[in-house]
């Protein structure tokens, strides 16, 4: 049976413009197999979307660690409204521009910050590897393992405690393909300062 797209139009090269189920525009790379869920259904990771809708409120401060193309960043911006704020971090340089541009075309510049950073336990430089057909599976590896994937880059890494500087935070999503313990180590003070914080991690 032929599947019709939820809403999608090609733009240039492998990049197209899609529409999310909550009515926001998003830039997609058609080489990445995960984006076809957005193209056909307007949705990515439905279980996580459900948790965002259940636990994030209007006016909340949200942190998206490992934001990828920004689908969940856009959802968080949509939910928190103009009085909330979203901090979004994505280390993959190929993916980050899609995240940042999608944020801009939805006029979310005043309610979010997007940074091309890896979130880690300390300030450092780390090696990130990924394959172009699965940009969302980028992971931090040792230098000796950097040749095992199609692409790799040395990226800047910072801990959340340094970036957020004792700010009130309501919700954190962490999806960093195996380096989640390092992210949590670098967020100990942030978590301690926010006893009611909600955290989702994979």
The domain spans of the chain are: 46-201
Q: How much is the pTM?
A: 0.89
**Cα–Cα distance for residue pair 47/49, rounded to 1 Å:** 5
Burial class (CB in 10 A: 0-12, 13-18, 19+), 159: buried
The predicted structure's pLDDT at residue 163 = 98
The predicted structure's pLDDT at residue 5 = 60
Residue 35's nearest CA partner among 6, 55, 58 is 6
The predicted structure's pLDDT at residue 185 = 96
The predicted structure's pLDDT at residue 66 = 93
**Cα–Cα distance for residue pair 119/182, rounded to 1 Å:** 8
Residue 95's nearest CA partner among 39, 136, 154 is 136
DSSP state of 179: -
Could you report the average pLDDT of every consecutive run of 10 residues in the chain (202 residues)?
67 93 95 86 94 98 95 98 97 90 97 95 85 54 51 87 95 89 96 97 84
**DSSP SS3 for 202:** coil
The predicted structure's pLDDT at residue 154 = 84
CATH architecture of 46-201: 3-Layer(aba) Sandwich (3.40)
Using alpha carbons only, give the angle 123, 165, 100 rounded to the nearest 5 degrees: 70
**DSSP SS3 for 94:** helix
The predicted structure's pLDDT at residue 137 = 56
The predicted structure's pLDDT at residue 94 = 82
């Amino acid at each position: 049976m032929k599947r019709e797209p939820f809403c999608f139009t090609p733009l240039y090269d492998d990049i197209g413009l899609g529409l999310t189920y909550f009515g926001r525009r998003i830039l997609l790379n058609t080489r990445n197999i995960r984006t076809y869920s957005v193209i056909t259904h307007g949705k990515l990771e439905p279980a996580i979307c459900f948790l965002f809708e259940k636990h994030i409120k209007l006016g909340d401060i949200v942190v998206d660690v490992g934001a990828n193309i920004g689908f969940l960043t856009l959802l968080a911006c949509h939910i928190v409204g103009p009085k909330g704020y979203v901090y979004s971090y994505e280390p993959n340089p190929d993916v980050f521009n899609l995240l940042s541009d999608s944020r801009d075309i939805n006029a979310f510049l005043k309610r979010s910050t997007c940074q091309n950073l890896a979130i880690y336990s300390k300030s450092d430089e780390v090696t990130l590897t990924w394959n172009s057909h699965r940009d969302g599976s980028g992971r931090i590896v040792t230098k000796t393992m950097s040749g095992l994937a199609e692409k790799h880059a040395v990226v800047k890494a910072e801990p959340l405690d340094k970036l957020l500087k004792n700010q009130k935070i309501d919700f954190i999503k962490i999806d960093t393909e195996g380096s989640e313990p390092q992210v949590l180590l670098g967020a100990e003070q942030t978590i301690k300062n926010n006893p009611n914080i909600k955290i989702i991690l994979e």
